[in-house]
Structure 1
């Protein structure tokens, strides 16, 4: 199991966690896949979940007894992250801590570019569906 790099204790929804920097090669994989797997695609949830679980291996839950439990499996994430909203906020904290372009107000620029890409892909899909749903032919009779 990889060592935590530059650990930082944070609180998310009043729950203490330790987050860390992710080693270069793992970070490259995680953040490349994270952005592409979270752009809305039908049936692609598994890729999004897999990359989230890999990112969570660099997170630990601090228990009331002071133990640090690394979130290395889906079961550990489910047992030590109280709800999905906390999980999403924890993911966001990892993104901010590991990616400089999420800091200093640049996150909104990045998210705007993702939104533009999602809108473009959505428009592309709708135009394709429109062509299939609107067959060319005689207009209906007005009688």
Structure 2
């Protein structure tokens, strides 16, 4: 006011959106669909052990306000690359099966897995033959 007095008034503010954290594998989160208000701001912790193709895009189809995707099982390195913190390595077969499931939403059936094994075995034999011949 004119006398130099300062007056304060508390005005309650209600946020338009809550801030939440959800956790799980990408396929489980997609299958569940939106939980709670889908417009909330989210931090998502993905527990997948293998690579996930376009996690932010996939999550934003369900939750448009995803702010951050955290991969606790993957650790950034000093050179900017990302290495899994899981101490085992996925076989070529398991890696392809995980990729196939992420792309199609369906697991490889036994027949497709057997065909994949045959192709991978043939490729390994071909690579071994080239290595024995000294070819690149």
TM-score band by shorter chain is: 0.3 to 0.5
TM-score when scaled to structure 1?
0.32
User: Structure 2 length normalisation: TM-score?
Assistant: 0.33
The structure with the largest helix share of the pair is 1
